[in-house]
Amino acid sequence: MVSIVALLHGPDRPGIVATIAGWIHEKGGNVIHADQHLDREENVFFQRVEWNVGVGADLEAESRNFAKMAEAELGMQVRTVLSNERPPIVLFVSKADHCFHDLILRWKAEELRGEIVGIVSNHPDLDHSAQEYGVPFLHIPCTEECKVEAEVAQLDFIRENGVGLVVLARYMQVLSENFLNDAGCPIINIHHSFLPSFAGAKPYHQAYRRGVKIIGATAHFVTPELDEGPIIYQDIHRVSHRNGVADLIAKGRDLEKIVLATAVRRQLENRILVYKNKTVVFD
């Protein structure tokens, strides 16, 4: 049964929960999940609410009406989706293939509420694998000289396919601020360290030199400040003096796969709100 999911946030005031629950009930709907959060420091109210509509109701109209009400009466910013929407996803990759295989296999196993519609890469290496999976592969070389043209081609693909989520699955290029502005959808990156430790290049080499006893991976939304975007999910793995850089890289691969997949899944399930460079993740 298709349900409506709404993500809201805005200044807290008395009666928000009652107004929202009352509105849904009045229209014959039934709340099946609701989770809220109050940031007391900022006085901002966040909510994710999911409901089944009454018999015969028009889902699209109901969504629009809800959003209008919550904006007008409660001053909230609202995003609504239907539970059966499956936004087109594009994966950006370079040469490393572990997150690429992992996400495609999860998609084929129906773990992801979206459709992988293409692979964009600055290297040709994964073309053959993408073909075997039956996913279009776009090789867009991206050197310093042709970065602008490359991003134009990337944005064309995004627009033509109505992409709703870009996933940087170990894509080894920095995206320009222009690209971020024009993409028109969220962009999730996996950074192979426990941010804010070891931002930037070669984090496992940095971790090895510092002699840390735990390594990590971080999935975050991409913003113009490199590796500074809102963090969605992190996980860690213990290491010891026995582990050289190659071991950290190998252990890190498993971390990266799970951390990126978790973040992508939560985004596709509409569980994430961003506020002031932080995330509220309703799980």
Q: Which residues are catalytic?
A: 227
Q: Does 56 bind a copy of itself (CB under 8 A)?
A: no
Q: How far is the CB of 78 from a copy of itself (least distance, A)?
A: 18
Q: How far is the CB of 159 from a copy of itself (least distance, A)?
A: 31
Among residues 72, 109, 143, 145, the one that binds a copy of itself under rule CB under 8 A: 109
Please identify, using beta-carbon distances, which residue of 71 and 235 lies nearer to a copy of itself.
235
Say whether 23 sits in a helix, a strand or coil: helix
Q: How far is CA 12 from CA 79, 211, 269, in A?
A: 17, 45, 25
Q: Cα–Cα distance between 50 and 42 in angstroms, integer? A: 25
CB 200 within 8 Å of CB 193: no
Q: How far is the CB of 199 from a copy of itself (least distance, A)?
A: 10
Please identify, using beta-carbon distances, which residue of 51 and 157 lies nearer to a copy of itself.
51
Q: How far is the CB of 179 from a copy of itself (least distance, A)?
A: 23
Among residues 89, 130, 232, 260, the one that binds a copy of itself under rule CB under 8 A: 232
Backbone angles phi, psi at 165, to 5 degrees: -160, 125
Annotate each residue in 196-225 with x if it binds a copy of itself (CB under 8 A) or - if it does not, as one string. Answer: xxx-----------xxxxx-x---------
Handedness of CA 63, 88, 181, 190 (dihedral sign): positive
Backbone angles phi, psi at 248, to 5 degrees: -60, -45
| Residue 222 CB partners (closer than 8 Å, separation 6+) | 168, 175, 180, 187, 188, 189, 229
Q: Does 38 bind a copy of itself (CB under 8 A)?
A: yes
Q: Does 82 bind a copy of itself (CB under 8 A)?
A: no
CB 253 within 8 Å of CB 169: no
Q: Which stretch binds a copy of itself (CB under 8 A): 57-65, 118-126, 175-183, 190-198?
A: 190-198
| Residue 107 CB partners (closer than 8 Å, separation 6+) | 89, 114, 115, 116
Site size for a copy of itself, by CB under 8 A? 62
CB 54 within 8 Å of CB 29: yes
Q: Does 32 bind a copy of itself (CB under 8 A)?
A: yes
By the criterion CB under 8 A, which residues form the site for a copy of itself? 14-15, 17-22, 24-26, 29-41, 46, 97-98, 101, 105, 109, 111, 132, 194-198, 210-214, 216, 230-236, 240-242, 244, 250, 254, 258, 277-281
